[in-house]
Chain A
Amino acid sequence: MEEDVRLMKGNEAIAHAAIRYGADGYFGYPITPQSEILETLEAEMPWETTGMVVLQAESEIAAINMVYAGAACGKAVFTSSSSPGVSLKQEGISYIAAGELPALIVNVMRGGPGLGTIHPSQADYFQATKGGGHGDYHLIVLAPATVQEMADFVTLGFDLAFKYRTPAMILADGMVGQMMEKVVLPPARPRRTDEEIARQCPWAVTGKPATRKPNIMTTLELDSYQMERNNERYQRTYRLIEENEVRYQEYYTDDADYLIVAFGSIARICLKSIEEARKQGIRIGLIRPITLWPYPYKTITGLSKRIKGILVVEINAGQMIEDVRLAVEGRVPVYHFGRLGGIVPNPNEVLDAFKHNFPEAQ
């Protein structure tokens, strides 16, 4: 398959990008607003073309354990769900992290807590970036703002997951999952052969040839001293990721007096607010973190030394604001504006919230 320009939903883009990436397997369970990922994969029938396995599992729990299994075999496998389903997956995600396995998890967030709403939300920021499951671990968390990024982050997520042997998550919201945009799909890459997997992933569970010792994927270690060493190894990986993989986008920060920090599709709304503000002579810049973990602390710390205040805009009750405040270290006021329960603010609301918090800016 050659490069292709298409109009499609964010969820559909993820499915197409995964087939073109050469993913080996997808295991999912229906939940709104992300079911198009499973539906698109079933309709595309990649098992007939690339040999990719697609399976509708009996539950989110089974699906994440299938991903753990596939990753243990050195395969490029992924799952997707939405907030309540991702809560169910947390035990399995912890196992994947502890097993130092590469895998991709997509969360197209909806409003919670509980069964909540099917409308967009960013209320799983804490869950995604601060752990989620049990134990000391991190996910590489990518926050797409466009349908194009939904596609691009499949490749990026898998590549980072395999580079560091750690699970990566695409943390999208229901808006970017459901909206349709132009997307450039990359040319298809072939799936890796068993020989390539054995070479690139010598730890993979493949069936033991007489020439090597058994490969055992386990996360159990009853020797506390060894378990401490395992944890230290995980932490070394996380420090390496923090040093090398921070990604973000800056808009209008050169002359900014104030800053808005927002991620995902909300950052696009904030950009509109900022453009309107600039027409009114208010110079606001935007930081859009692309990796929510590792977080662009240094960039925000640096900017906080030459601006007057920051508004953090999220569709939650205030989660990423804690990381912004950590970066700002109390230098300037940091305020939050958010809508809850699945409501997405419009650009005027954001600008009004800015003016309300920073009346001196006008």
Chain B
Amino acid sequence: MAKVKGAVKINQNRCKGCDLCVVACPTDVLMLQPKEVNDRGYHFAFMNNPEACIGCASCATVCPDGCIEVYRVTIK
């Protein structure tokens, strides 16, 4: 059976660390940086668990700042 694998690219400087993508992710891929902040002082989101990403784009769909690019491949 084909397996879907995804990845996201997050515009770290645009991200405001609102956490909504983290909440929306069905596979617990994303997390906010616990310590590091971006140029504007926000704990930006990153792929903490990239293996689990299915490229469903839920995170990008709810992102208020359009920070997230979603990529997906189907592995046969």
The short answer to whether A and B are in direct contact, CB under 8 Å, is no
User: A residues within 8 Å of B by Cβ?
Assistant: none
User: B residues within 8 Å of A by Cβ?
Assistant: none
